[in-house]
Structures are given as structure tokens and as C-alpha cells.
């Protein structure tokens, strides 16, 4: 056993040495070529064997109760009583209501607005747009919770994020991934996905505090986040946290191999001290580092006021060094053009795309498939059968690595890749029964797992 751990240690050291050659963010944009080292289907022989070691750890605890498995601490970035916060927000909504934006009242959800506007579904007796939540967790094991976390990703894409985040240290990556899976269960991420944007704070959706639009020079989706639209008093912390989780889960749908990260633009135009929200900053940073690792390609801080350098000095120590290295600063439109082609850049920021954000409201019958219980059960059954085949192929792959049989290892690897594609396709089918449609599906940007930004880009 000690020999095995020494071998793993040697492999990890070799991977770390290889990883040190990863191109700098600015170099990638200068060359116009995305660095895909260490990503799915682009692994070195050493990296693939470390991945096999990671799956060996996962499968060793596969049928164990999730709560019994040691992991990294699950940190709450902001200490609060969730139930009390929701109760206070509800009380404020009833006793002293106030308009936040565009007719959206404090603590009003998109579902509330739909009811107010008479948007109803013909699939339910009460006109509800989505059926009551039905959890897809079959038991309390790592197996069940892990697959719910993987969702429509290739299984290896999900796992590799944690390996890269922990510099290919299997033990550290395993504790990190288990913590993330536990966190997802605690936060009921599955339920947030189920309802789509329906139970998000309406003012956040109507304002477009954050939204994805277009792609950068590396093909990464651009997420625009205008800080001047955000005020801490406009929504409760639980609602802000829900919105943040929904946004991150939705962005996962806009990624595809080898484009596994986003380009985040923190637009500080017209930003003032009134827009600072430290609970949000702390939550976003924690989620990005611990629960959605390796999802950020670059963060461009645009048009910051003269005093923002002082704020940056407070924020930067909170960042993981790897994340901090992805932060770039741009003061003028010409600086943004280094990262984004003018056809992909919004006209209001110096580009040619005339698009302006406008929330597209739900349609009454857009979630009919979610009311089809029989269809959902069949989709789940097919997915589970393919997941079992993938696990069996993975066990063969891991054993071939342990036995040192390279030919067998290569054959098993090819079989895993084939099954991974099938698992992903089956998961995408099941997703139609377990995730409400949302802004990006209504606009046509996301259709049958394909992303097409031209659906909403506007040119002369």
C-alpha cells in the first residue's frame, strides 16, 4: 500500500511540473487560443492515471452514507439564520411593501409576477407553471448525491475541475468534491434547478443584475455583471444566494468541452459605495472557489472608479491565488477589445452588438414535460442503467491501471469515453423533466444543449 501512495505522489509531482507551463491569461488572448491542458479529452498519460486514482477513491466510498465520509469543512461565508431571514423578508413584504424595480416589489418572485399577470399552465388544476418538487435522490449515499451533482456534465469534466483546483492532489481533491456534494444537498440545489428562475427574486431578473451574452476571443461565454444595478436592501440574503446558485447552475449549461469556463465582466460603470454588498462578495468568492471550481476563465474589472483600488486591497486577500491571477483590469472600451471581438462586445461598451437586456417572462405551458411523471421515470431508468455501465467500465479502467496493463487500460479508457457520451445524452433528456425552462431557453440561446448567441445578437 505504501508503494501505491509513493507512486501516486510521484505522478502528482510530475503533473504539477507539467502544469507549471500553463499559459498566462493574457498570453491566451494574444494568441487567440484557449489553453486546454488538463481538461476532458485532452489529458496527458500521467493526468489520466491520476484521474483513475481519483475515481478509485470515489468508487471506494460509492455506496457509503454521504454523511459518513470525511471532507473539507463546509463553510458558510455569511452567518445567518435562513428561516429567520425569510420570515423577516416576508413580514416586510406584507407590512411595508415597496417597489424595487419595474413594478417588482420587495421579496416578490417571478412566480408571483406571473400570477399577477395571469400567466398560467394548462397542465395543472391550479395553473401552476411547474409541478411540486420531486427529489431525484434515491438514497443517502455518495452515489446518489454525486450523480445529482454531475447532472448533464460528462462525469470526468465534473471530477477534473476539483483535481485541477487542488493541483492534482487526489486526497485534497477528493475531500473537496465530497464537501461540494454535501453542500449541494444542504442547500437543496436540486430544488433550485427544478424551479428554474420562477422562484428567483423578480427584481433581480427584471433588472438583469447579471446575465450571459456572447462569447470572448477564447469562445468562453461572457457574463455581464453591472454593479450599479445592485443594492443590498433590494432583496433578502436568502434570495440573493438562491439567485447566485441558479445563475451558476444555468451557466453550466452554456459550457461545453473544451470551453469549460466563463469570462466574467464586473462592470463598475456608475458604481458607488451604495452598491457595495460584502455578504454577496464573500458568498460569491466562496462559491466560486469551493463549490464551482475551475469555472472562471477570466474576470475583467471594467471602468472602476478611482477609489476602487482601495476596495480591491480588501477583496484580493480573500481570493485563492489561482483565482486572483485571473483578474484583469480594463478602463476603456479599447481595453475590452483585447479580450472580446467587437462583434461580440455590446455597443454600450464600445462594440457592435446593439443588444440590451430585457427579461423574457415564462410562458404558461413551457414546462409541460415536467408534469409527465411516466416520461420522467423512463428517462431516469435509462440514465441509471447507463450510469451503472459507466461505473463498471470505470472499475475495469481503474483495475487495469493498478495491474499495470497499458493495453487494457487504453481499451477501457475508450469504452469509458463512449459511455460518458451516452450518459451525458441521457442526462440531458432527463433534464427536460427535472428543470424548468428559463431565460436562456426562452430566448432560444440554449436549445437541445446547443448554444447560439446569434438568436439575440443585434447588428445594423
How many of the other CB atoms lie within 10 Å of CB of 386? 19
Q: Any idea which residue has 470572448 for its cell?
A: 216
Q: Residue 183, exposed/middle/buried by CB under 10 A (0-12, 13-18, 19+)?
A: buried
The H-or-E segment that residue 56 falls in is helix 45-60
**pLDDT value at residue 213:** 98
Distance between terminal CA atoms of the chain? 66
**pLDDT value at residue 276:** 80
- Phi, psi dihedrals of residue 411, rounded to the nearest 5°: -65, -45
Q: Any idea which residue has 452514507 for its cell?
A: 65
- CA-CA distance, 438 to 196, in Å (whole number)? 6
Q: 416-419 — which CB contacts under 8 Å span 24+ positions? A: 416/156, 416/390, 417/41, 419/386, 419/389, 419/390, 419/393
- CA-CA distance, 210 to 227, in Å (whole number)? 9
- CA-CA distance, 69 to 179, in Å (whole number)? 9
- CA-CA distance, 10 to 15, in Å (whole number)? 9
- CA-CA distance, 100 to 122, in Å (whole number)? 31
- CA-CA distance, 42 to 38, in Å (whole number)? 6
Dihedral (Cα; 182, 186, 190, 191), 10-degree rounding: 180
Cα angle 134, 140, 144 (rounded to 5 degrees) comes to 70
**pLDDT value at residue 7:** 39
- Phi, psi dihedrals of residue 297, rounded to the nearest 5°: -85, -50
- CA-CA distance, 375 to 134, in Å (whole number)? 14
How many of the other CB atoms lie within 10 Å of CB of 337? 17
Q: Which regions of the chain are under pLDDT 70?
A: 1-22, 80-81
Beta bridge partners of 265: 224, 300
Q: 378-385 — which CB contacts under 8 Å span 24+ positions? A: 379/426, 379/429, 379/430, 379/432, 379/433, 380/136, 380/430, 380/433, 382/426, 382/429, 382/430, 383/423, 383/426, 383/427, 383/429, 383/430
pTM summary value: 0.92
Angle between helices 45-60 and 2-19 (to 10 degrees): 130
> How many residues would you count in the chain?
460
Amino acid at each position: 500500500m505504501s508503494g501505491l501512495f509513493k507512486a501516486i505522489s510521484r505522478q502528482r509531482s510530475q503533473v504539477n511540473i507539467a502544469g507549471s507551463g500553463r499559459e498566462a491569461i493574457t498570453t491566451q488572448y494574444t494568441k487567440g487560443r484557449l489553453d486546454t491542458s488538463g481538461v476532458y479529452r485532452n489529458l496527458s498519460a500521467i493526468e489520466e492515471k491520476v484521474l483513475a486514482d481519483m475515481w478509485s477513491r470515489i468508487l471506494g466510498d460509492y455506496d457509503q452514507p454521504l454523511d459518513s465520509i470525511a471532507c473539507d469543512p463546509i463553510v458558510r461565508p455569511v452567518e445567518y439564520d435562513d428561516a429567520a431571514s425569510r420570515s423577516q423578508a416576508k413580514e416586510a413584504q406584507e407590512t411595508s411593501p415597496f417597489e424595487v424595480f419595474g413594478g417588482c416589489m420587495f421579496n416578490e418572485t417571478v412566480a408571483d409576477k406571473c400570477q399577477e399577470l395571469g400567466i398560467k399552465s394548462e397542465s395543472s388544476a391550479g395553473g401552476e407553471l411547474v409541478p411540486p418538487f420531486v427529489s431525484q435522490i434515491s438514497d443517502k449515499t455518495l452515489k446518489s448525491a454525486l450523480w445529482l451533482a454531475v447532472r448533464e456534465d460528462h462525469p470526468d469534466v465534473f471530477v477534473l475541475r476539483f483535481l485541477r483546483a487542488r493541483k492534482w492532489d487526489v486526497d485534497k481533491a477528493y475531500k473537496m468534491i465530497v464537501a461540494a456534494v454535501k453542500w449541494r444537498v444542504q442547500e437543496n440545489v436540486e430544488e433550485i434547478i427544478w424551479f428554474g428562475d420562477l422562484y428567483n427574486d423578480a427584481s433581480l431578473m427584471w433588472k438583469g443584475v447579471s446575465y450571459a451574452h456572447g462569447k470572448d476571443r477564447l469562445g468562453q461565454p461572457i457574463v455581464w455583471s453591472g454593479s450599479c444595478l445592485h443594492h443590498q436592501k433590494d432583496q433578502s440574503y436568502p434570495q440573493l444566494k438562491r439567485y447566485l446558485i441558479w445563475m451558476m447552475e444555468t451557466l453550466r449549461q452554456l459550457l461545453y468541452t473544451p470551453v469549460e469556463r466563463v469570462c466574467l465582466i464586473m462592470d463598475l460603470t456608475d458604481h458607488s459605495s451604495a452598491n457595495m454588498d460584502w455578504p454577496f462578495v464573500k458568498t460569491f468568492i466562496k462559491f466560486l472557489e469551493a463549490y464551482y471550481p475551475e469555472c472562471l476563465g477570466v474576470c475583467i474589472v471594467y471602468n472602476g472608479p478611482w477609489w476602487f483600488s482601495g476596495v480591491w486591497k480588501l477583496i484580493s486577500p480573500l481570493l485563492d491565488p489561482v483565482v486572483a491571477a485571473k483578474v484583469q483590469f480594463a478602463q476603456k472600451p479599447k481595453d475590452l477589445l483585447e479580450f472580446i471581438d467587437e462583434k461580440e462586445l455590446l455597443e454600450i461598451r464600445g462594440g457592435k452588438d446593439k443588444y440590451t437586456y430585457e427579461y423574457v417572462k415564462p410562458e404558461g405551458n413551457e414546462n409541460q414535460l415536467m408534469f409527465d411523471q411516466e416520461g420522467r421515470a423512463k428517462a431516469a431508468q435509462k440514465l441509471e442503467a447507463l450510469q451503472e455501465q459507466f461505473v463498471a467500465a470505470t472499475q475495469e479502467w481503474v483495475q487495469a491501471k493498478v495491474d499495470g496493463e497499458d493495453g487494457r487500460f487504453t481499451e477501457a479508457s475508450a469504452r469509458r469515453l463512449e459511455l460518458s457520451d451516452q450518459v451525458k445524452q441521457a442526462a440531458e433528456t432527463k433534464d427536460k423533466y427535472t428543470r424548468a425552462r428559463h431565460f436562456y431557453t426562452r430566448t432560444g440561446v440554449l436549445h437541445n444543449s446547443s448554444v447560439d448567441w446569434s438568436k439575440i445578437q443585434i447588428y445594423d
